[in-house]
Amino acid sequence: MAEHLKLDFPVLNPEAENRDPNLQSMVVPTFEEGILEKPDSYIPEQYTIDKYYTNDQLGTDVLKNKYLAPGEAHPWELWQRVAKATASVEKTPQAKEHWEAQFFSILEDFRFVPGGRIMHGAGRDDIKST
């Protein structure tokens, strides 16, 4: 009978004991290549709000005040939420996963911008419709 092993790799945890300082530079590029599944908390540095809106205070303020849900701080999280909500109508988990990836690919970097009410409300539980 096969044994179950739990491997705890401290890839993105800087506080982990015995962490090889070169480990992140060796593993994180595989996230970018799609080889490893990205953790939910993973946000590429270029899509953090400070890097994405460098020297654009108006863009930063509009995103924060109009479109980011509570708990979101970056455009990447907005695109994830909208893609997941848009794909949520699919019937099977495989179809949901497929269409979430498809929707995310066009939302990423604002290649497609849905209407403001969609960007604001899709996937949010903190909004009550009237």
Which tens digit of pLDDT belongs to each residue from 74-104? 999 999 999 999 999 999 999 999 999 999 9
Please tell me the predicted confidence (pLDDT) of residue 66.
Answer: 96
pLDDT given at position 48: 93
Q: What's this model's pTM, rounded to 2 decimal places?
A: 0.68
All residue ranges of the chain with pLDDT < 70 are 1-40, 129-130
Cα atoms found within 13 Å of the Cα of residue 36, Cβ hemisphere only: 13
Counting beta carbons within 10 angstroms of the beta carbon of residue 63, is it exposed (0 to 12), middle (13 to 18) or buried (19 or more)?
buried
Residue among 67, 64, 105, 71 nearest 86 (CA): 105
Residue 16's CB is within 10 A of a number of other CB atoms, namely 13
pLDDT of 36 reads: 46
pLDDT at residue 31, rounded to an integer: 47
CA-based Rg of the chain, rounded to a whole angstrom?
18
